[in-house]
């Protein structure tokens, strides 16, 4: 799957279910491993990122069984039951694995090393290392503040009251997970509300977590009790279909069983503000997480100034939102999204360059982008080893004059296994070539 080639397509239709939520899949393995008893998980995302977390805990002595598609059984070892790994914990391209594991491992009595692929070892880790050091962790990285992360075991950590300088669910989760091993109350105050899957799942495992305004707190020294988890479809994966159906004339699709956690629905809010025809059907709560079926019909989108309060709630979906903006009538402006520059790639620069290549008037700014919607001509673009860049330009090809070729698309398996097969069934005119 080295290359995607997408050409103009007729209407998209059908009813689909996208792979399981990556954020919830990661956390189900982490907390299930630390729980007492056996945790059953269905809908687990069997993609490279989530499997990296699973393999890391197997390396630390946790018995995790995989049976049937998306079915996982975790035999928890308790809060103090992890064993020292015999080798470095390699987590591939998964920033979530590395940052959250750094928090959990900071309070263990054994030494460990976290490493990843070339892309991950360029991503900033100082944002988690600094608060962990404040908690008494013996932890370090290379001189650039990037992986590998080396952790020396400590008996316990000290609680902190941490004011986060940026909105990041990964940083927040890292500190909270370290707080499980601190003697006292750990508090984290975030500048804006970010996804709260860690807090929700801790409660699901019976661990009290409090929120007052933007401050989240927990007491160390408790225990987790095994549970059952049904992982909903990932809204980040559903976003590609939502934009595809919105921009392709005559489309009408439904995406079943998608997680609509309020800290993750910024993509829906932004697309609705642009004039998208999106409706939520059969809303319900499963395992503490809001879930719905999402119906999307084609519409004429319009350019908007994206409200900054939506930025943290849609941070992973902006590459494909940029494609929606490229197809909208008028100008779309994004500000306050400098976090996009330190994802799997510099997503602001990567998308601006790629959009320019296929004929879109797009200008990168320090913290966002300005896009004047118009005609997508087509061309050859690079994924920059970023799964969301690859899939976003595959969507852009649906309404292109000459087709869009995206190079180096193997990375799509980190979050959306079976992408080509699923979107082909939806009506994409797409070919994958090795």
Residue 104 to residue 107: CA distance in whole angstroms: 6
Q: Please give the angle made by the CA atoms of 101, 125 and 141, to the nearest 5 degrees.
A: 90
Beta-bridge partner residues of 113 = 150
Q: Angle 197-204/169-179 helices, nearest 10 degrees?
A: 30
Q: What is the pLDDT of residue 286?
A: 87
Q: What is the pLDDT of residues 72-110, one digit of tens each?
A: 999 999 999 999 999 999 999 999 999 999 999 999 999
Q: Are residues 212 and 147 in the same domain?
A: yes
Q: Are residues 188 and 198 in the same domain?
A: yes
Q: What is the pLDDT of residues 21-80, one digit of tens each?
A: 999 999 999 999 999 999 999 999 999 999 999 999 999 999 999 998 999 999 999 999
Q: What is the pLDDT of residue 39?
A: 97
Q: Are residues 79 and 205 in the same domain?
A: yes
Q: Are residues 33 and 153 in the same domain?
A: yes
Report the mean per-residue pLDDT for the chain: 96
| Domain endpoint, select from 230, 255, 289 | 230
Q: Can you list the positions of beta strands (E) in 8-99?
A: 13-16, 36-42, 63-66, 72-77, 89-90
pLDDT at 405 over 60: yes
Q: Please give the angle made by the CA atoms of 158, 162 and 164, to the nearest 5 degrees.
A: 145
Q: Are residues 221 and 237 in the same domain?
A: no
342 vs 177, higher pLDDT: 177
Question: Which residues span the domain enclosing 334?
Answer: 3-20+232-433
Residue 102 to residue 410: CA distance in whole angstroms: 27
CATH number at residue 278: 3.65.10.10
Q: What is the pLDDT of residue 11?
A: 96
Task: Give the residue among 250, 244, 219 at the shortest CA–CA distance from 419.
Answer: 244
Q: What is the CA radius of gyration of the chain?
A: 21
3-state class (DSSP) for residue 30: helix
Q: Are residues 174 and 308 in the same domain?
A: no
Centre a 10 Å sphere on the Cβ of residue 23 and count the other Cβ atoms it contains: 30
Q: Are residues 185 and 239 in the same domain?
A: no
Q: What is the pLDDT of residue 1?
A: 57
Q: In what order do the strands lie in the sheet with 361-365?
A: 331-334, 368-372, 361-365
Residue 344 to residue 94: CA distance in whole angstroms: 9
Token couple for 159? 């609680």
Classify residue 13 by burial, with Cβ atoms within 10 Å: 0-12, 13-18, 19+.
middle
Q: What is the pLDDT of residue 434?
A: 82
Q: Are residues 153 and 256 in the same domain?
A: no
Percent of the chain with pLDDT over 90: 97
| Domain endpoint, select from 195, 230, 265 | 230
Residue 204 to residue 95: CA distance in whole angstroms: 24
CB 240 within 8 A of CB 317: no
Q: Are residues 366 and 417 in the same domain?
A: yes
Q: What is the mean pLDDT of residues 114-133?
A: 96
Task: Give the residue among 410, 413, 379, 414 at the shortest CA–CA distance from 393.
Answer: 379
Provide DSSP, 136-204: T-EEE--TTS-SPEEEE--S-B---EEE-SS--HHHHHHHHHHHTTBSSEEEEE-SS----HHHHHHHH
Its sign, for the CA torsion 338, 344, 346, 347, is: negative
Q: Are residues 71 and 214 in the same domain?
A: yes
Residue 230 to residue 287: CA distance in whole angstroms: 7
Q: Are residues 143 and 245 in the same domain?
A: no
CB 86 within 8 A of CB 58: no
DSSP single-letter state for residue 221: S
Residue 22 to residue 28: CA distance in whole angstroms: 10
Q: How many domains does the chain have?
A: 2
Q: What is the pLDDT of residue 406?
A: 98
Catalytic status, residue 316: yes
pLDDT at 249 over 60: yes
Q: What is the pLDDT of residue 288?
A: 81
3-state class (DSSP) for residue 424: helix
Kindly report the pTM of this predicted structure.
0.93
Beta-bridge partner residues of 290 = 285
Among 234, 316, 385, 386, which one carries the catalytic annotation?
316
Residue with tokens 């991950």: 120
CB 114 within 8 A of CB 102: yes
Q: Are residues 155 and 191 in the same domain?
A: yes
| Domain endpoint, select from 203, 230, 257 | 230
Centre a 10 Å sphere on the Cβ of residue 96 and count the other Cβ atoms it contains: 22
């Amino acid at each position: 799957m080295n290359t995607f080639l997408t050409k103009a397509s007729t209407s998209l239709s059908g009813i689909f279910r996208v792979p399981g939520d990556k954020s919830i899949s990661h956390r189900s393995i982490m907390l299930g491993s630390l729980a007492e008893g056996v945790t059953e998980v269905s809908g687990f995302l069997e993609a490279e990122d989530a499997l990296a977390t699973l393999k890391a805990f197997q390396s630390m002595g946790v018995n995790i069984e995989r049976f049937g598609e998306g079915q996982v059984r975790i035999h928890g070892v308790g809060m103090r039951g992890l064993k020292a790994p015999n080798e470095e914990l390699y987590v591939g391209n998964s920033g979530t694995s590395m940052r959250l594991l750094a928090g959990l491992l900071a309070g263990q009595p054994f030494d460990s090393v976290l490493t990843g692929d070339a892309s991950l070892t360029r991503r900033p880790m100082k944002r988690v290392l600094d608060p962990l050091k404040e908690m008494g962790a013996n932890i370090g990285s290379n001189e650039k503040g990037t992986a590998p992360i080396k952790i020396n075991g400590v008996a316990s950590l000290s609680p902190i009251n941490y004011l986060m300088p940026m909105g990041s669910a990964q940083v927040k989760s890292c500190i909270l997970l370290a707080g499980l091993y601190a003697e006292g109350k750990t508090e984290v105050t975030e500048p804006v509300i970010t996804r709260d899957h860690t807090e929700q799942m801790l409660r699901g495992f019976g661990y009290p977590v409090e929120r007052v305004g933007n401050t989240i707190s927990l007491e160390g020294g408790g225990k987790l009790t095994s549970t059952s988890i049904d992982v909903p479809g990932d809204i980040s994966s559903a976003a590609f279909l939502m934009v595809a159906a919105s921009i392709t004339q005559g489309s009408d699709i439904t995406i079943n069983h998608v997680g609509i956690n309020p800290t993750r629905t910024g993509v829906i809010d932004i697309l609705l503000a642009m004039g998208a025809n999106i409706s939520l059907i059969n809303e319900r709560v499963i395992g503490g997480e809001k879930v719905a079926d999402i119906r999307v019909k084609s519409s004429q989108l319009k350019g908007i100034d994206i409200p900054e309060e939506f930025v943290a709630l849609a941070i992973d979906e902006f590459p494909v939102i940029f494609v929606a903006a490229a197809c909208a009538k008028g100008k779309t402006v994004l500000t306050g999204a400098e976090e996009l520059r330190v994802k799997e790639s510099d997503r602001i620069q990567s998308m601006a360059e790629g959009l320019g290549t296929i004929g879109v008037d797009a200008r990168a700014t320090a913290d966002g982008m300005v896009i004047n919607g118009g005609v997508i001509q087509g061309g050859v673009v690079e994924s920059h080893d970023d799964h969301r860049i690859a899939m976003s330009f595959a969507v852009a090809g649906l309404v292109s004059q000459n087709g869009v070729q995206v190079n180096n698309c193997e990375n799509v398996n980190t979050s959306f296994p079976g992408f080509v097969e699923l979107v082909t069934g939806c009506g994409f005119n797409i070919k994958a070539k090795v």
